A and B are shown apart, each in its own frame.
Chain A
């Protein structure tokens, strides 16, 4: 360890960064997690490299966090610094200039409002043009995007973003702090209302913005990154409700040329892009409503890439030597909800039934059969193993059919017959069938009601207006499965599905849990976050408003001659550095 170099480097950064460096130097944080956490705190790649060197390196295989899956690391990823000057360029001579990349994508499910959009079909066309302050780095790390660097104050309650100079809007004019202040101001009344107020953001100069948070948050940069898709940077005069297709603009690598919700979108390359001139001559997004069409498009040579699909739809892709399938580990999961407020699953007996369900399912079998092995086992809380602060010491629940049967007997409902509701989305119908079959072993008689996503979500969200707290989406049903996409941090799951009740299908209310979540959110350094997450995991696991059988890998596929695509696992596909090999 080069102590003098380490001391010098530590002097250049703040206390939060120093805590991280100390933890890394002491061996408490793996190199991968150091890179992820350092990127969130705004440490540059060069600084982190120097620190790793000063500490004498680290063997990442000792990582306790389970992030060493080959799927996660094999992804071609040009994001560690998406800058023309220091981006890890593809091997010289491999990507050719020219060509139009055709992406098969889900049709937008809502208008292309950058602030209100809520589905991957809408994210994909918008994010080709509108970018975020922070971008996606390797794995779960962040990387500079419109902000060249960022740093927190001592307690993580104030974040300062240094903007990239020379960034131009497609329609003309420079991207400046005025745009950021206006865009974050709009988000303060929407997606970021829990973090900032319209007065929280101020421009220090043309290229510096200071954000004062309502509560300290050591992970705030994630909220202005693709992991919070609604937080893209739009021009200062871009009013709330403005639709991207009606007023195209942006700073990104591609300029919207045509848009037709019936067919797709086409883009021209932005030759003034801050990341350099894209390799591609054009980008085309083909809309369709189902994975099968997208996969057939790829196999039929009409598309070069498919953004996201279910394992169950993709046998033909896994066995195709012309296609690269990327399996991105993440925190996306399925929640089997129980209404714990009233009905079958409430009260003391309800708790026993919930535990019986948890013990009755064979999680590893679900991963093997439903996901074909592409996922991490769940333990009935939404903290995925990919999170750097995941508490791996918590015992994993195992299948125990006899104990589950006994619990049903104790609850007075042997042979419980009940209907499980689920959307017809990706692998969920298959999951529902396997759960139905597995729970038959403990004597439960489950009737499945799998609905189209359109009718399911319409019903699911009906109880928003419930006056009995906690409200939450459940479609008036007490038992079902609902989906949650990948997030860079679990805060959205914890707050919306468990704490505030916005998506709280279980109508779960626990002051103890809410306090644990608040304590977790107030942490700004990794060691304290690791400690704070333990009670969150344990309470969710013990109270069990949801059974979470697994965290699925996001699957994306492209032709072998395509390189440089960056996928977030949340529907974003960045193509600024993408192109075709010879």
Chain B
């Protein structure tokens, strides 16, 4: 059973790490947007305020997919083990006799 719990924790951690690969997208996009806006400010310094506001708003909207990934990662790290662990525990509690049989069979084999 420790193996099962360990497997759950490991899978969740791995999944969280892979999910955060999606953080590349918003970073590249927003960096490009900021670069473009700097270029425009360099060309026309008087529109600095308006360009900055628009850029920030655009960045906040483009951040969305990165946030989807973050939310899934947080779910995996903090919520899933709890849920999975509870489910496993309740599963074992409900099928106590089957688990006992399996354990005896395993002990008999090895």
* A and B: interacting chains: no
